[in-house]
Amino acid sequence: MDTIKVGIISFEHMHALSYTTELMKIEGVEVVGIADADETRGRRMAERFHTTYYREYEELLDTDIVGVVICTNNKLHSEVAIAAANKGKHILVEKPFAINIEAANAMLKAAKANKVKIMTAFPMRFNPNMREAKAIIDRGEIGNILCITGINHGKIPSGWFIDPELSGGGGVMDHTVHLADLIRWFTNSEYKSVYCESGELIHHKGIDDCGIVNVELENGVFATIDCSWAHHKNYEIWPEVYMEIIGDKGVLEVSAFGQVKRVYDAEHNVIEDTVWNEDGDEGLIKEFVEVCRTEKEPFVTGFDGMKAAEVAMAAYLSSEEHRKVAI
């Protein structure tokens, strides 16, 4: 079996650490290099994973890698993804796929023109609890879906995440897209409209940290996404993805991170929950490696990423203008 050579572009996003760790576990995969504009961080990560550091991502793209994982700030997703596509590399890009629709379309166009596959990092599609929920829905056990309530809470990040120029937005941009993708996947329907109220209510960092996104789908389902950075620093669990899916024959409650081990640290006054079930990153990375190996269509595509990001983009317009926005 041929070795699949992969590169990582940037550790700006914390998920790069998990993705690279999962890549290192897969037999027949070689992490050829790590590119990062932050030399200190890049060299530290390259040493940690026993690979080569590249100051410029273009240098990494000039190697014989077949695929690249992009974990830059959100603004750079399009620039780097297009450069990777033009070099003939398959692409896994961190969510949100892009911060505006023009950038998203340019990314998809570049991938198609260069005949490479582009995949969005939506690990929730691979989370065992969410996959079982999808199977229950598809078996018709709760009947036709009427409505969905979704919660994606977390702690406020720092750095470029709270710089709107680099992130494209705060909690609404960061946390809407996971649930927007799951809702679209569960319902097999496209979005029709979005209404959102959002604001800077908790942390006062100059960026939205709370939001409620209400969506309508073409098949008549309506849903609510609570996408807030609402957890305080000592909150016992960092990720919280929960959904209640109401059908005409039953109600399904699903928690993505329901299997946890709780640790109380009295010395540091911290309570931490460690997820012991597969959180989705393992399945996501295995899928990307298979895409690189076989050039099959990804289970979760760049187009899926664009459609989810479109909901966040519409949510900001709705919140700004206090009206329902058609998609």
Whether residue 259 is predicted with pLDDT greater than 90 in this model: the reply is no
Give per-residue pLDDT as tens, 21-40.
Answer: 999 999 999 999 999 999 99
Residues 115 and 131 in one domain: no
pLDDT at 238 exceeding the cut of 70: no
Given this model, what pLDDT does residue 264 score? 77
- Based on the fold, state whether residues 144 and 211 are members of the same structural domain: yes
What pLDDT, on a 0 to 100 scale, did the predictor assign at position 279? Answer: 78
The CATH number that applies at residue 257 is 3.30.360.10
Determine the average pLDDT of the residues in 161-188: 97
The two three-digit tokens of residue 1, written as one number: 């079996």
**pLDDT value for 260:** 72
The amino acid sitting at 319 is: S
> Does the pLDDT at position 152 exceed 90?
yes
Residues 6+ apart with CB under 8 A from 211: 171, 172, 175, 176, 196, 197, 198, 199, 225, 226, 227, 228, 315, 319
Tell me the β-bridge partners of 171: none
pLDDT at 232 over 70: yes
Looking at residue 231, its pLDDT comes to 85
Q: pLDDT confidence of 234, banded at 50, 70, 90?
A: confident
- Place 297 in a pLDDT band, splitting at 50, 70 and 90: very high
Q: Where are the alpha helices (DSSP H) in the chain?
A: 15-25, 39-48, 57-61, 77-86, 101-113, 128-138, 164-167, 171-187, 281-294, 302-321
**Percent of all residues in the chain with a pLDDT value above 70, rounded to a whole number:** 97
User: What Rg do the C-alpha atoms of the chain give, in angstroms?
Assistant: 19
Determine the average pLDDT of the residues in 289-318: 98
Predicted pLDDT at 233: 77
Torsion over CA: 286, 298, 327, 245 (sign):
negative
- 305 found inside a domain: no
What is the rounded CA–CA span in Å between residue 154 and residue 11? 20
**Euclidean distance between CA atoms 67 and 118, whole angstroms:** 10
Residue 191 lies in a domain: yes
Locus of tokens 């097999």 = 188
pLDDT at 269: 79
Confidence of residue 276 (pLDDT cuts 50, 70, 90): low
Residues 209, 117: one domain?
no
Examine the domain organization and report whether 179 and 133 are in the same domain. yes
Q: Is the model more confident about 274 or about 287?
A: 287
Q: Indicate if the pLDDT at residue 237 is higher than 70.
A: no
Dist CA 163 CA 114 (whole Å): 32
Question: Do 196 and 272 lie in a common domain?
Answer: yes
Mean pLDDT of 161-185: 97
What does the alpha-carbon distance between residue 165 and residue 244 come to, in Å, rounded to a whole number? 34
Which residue in the block uniquely carries the two structure tokens 């620039």? 79
Let me know whether 38 and 160 are in one domain.
Answer: no
Same domain? For 166 and 211 the reply is: yes
Are 60 and 68 within 8 A, CB to CB?
yes
Predicted local confidence at residue 252, as pLDDT: 97
> For the chain, how many structural domains are there in total?
2
Stretch 187-193: mean pLDDT: 98
| Count of beta carbons in the 10 Å neighbourhood of residue 69 | 26
Say if strands 240-247 and 251-255 run parallel, antiparallel, or are unpaired.
antiparallel
pLDDT for 41 equals: 97
Dist. CA 36–CA 218, nearest whole Å: 42
- Decide: pTM greater than 0.85: yes
The whole-chain average pLDDT of the chain stands at 94
166 has a pLDDT exceeding 80: yes
pLDDT of residue 121: 98
Domain that holds residue 78: 4-123+281-299
Q: Which of 95, 87, 81 is nearest to 9 (CA)?
A: 81
Can you tell me the distance from the alpha carbon of 301 to that of 285, in angstroms, rounded to the nearest whole number?
13
Q: Of the candidates 57, 121, 122, 126, which has an alpha carbon nearest to the alpha carbon of residue 94?
A: 121
